[in-house]
Amino acid sequence: MSDTLQTTEKRGKNYLAVPTGTGREFGIPIDSLKLNRDLDDIIDTMSSFAQRGSD
């Protein structure tokens, strides 16, 4: 979760960039945040999918 503190808004591309710790990033659409979706839940779900891919 500490990576979420290092997010960057990519305004021209309309997403929030979250670093993966490996020099890459994944994006969360800004609209998801504007719709008041739970950012912690979104990041936890994305992390779970990423972990499955690396196993």
> What confidence tens digit (pLDDT) does each residue in 3-41 have?
545 777 777 888 888 777 788 888 888 888 788 888 888
Full strand arrangement of the beta sheet holding 8-10 = 8-10, 15-19, 25-29
Of 37, 52, 40, 43, nearest to 20 (Cα)? Answer: 43
User: Mapping DSSP to helix (H, G, I), strand (E, B) and coil, where does residue 9 land?
Assistant: strand
**Model pLDDT, residue 1:** 47
pLDDT > 70: percent of the chain: 85
Using only C-alpha atoms, the chain has a radius of gyration, in whole angstroms, of: 11
Spatial distance between the Cα atoms of 51 and 35, rounded to a whole number of angstroms: 27
The model's pTM is 0.55
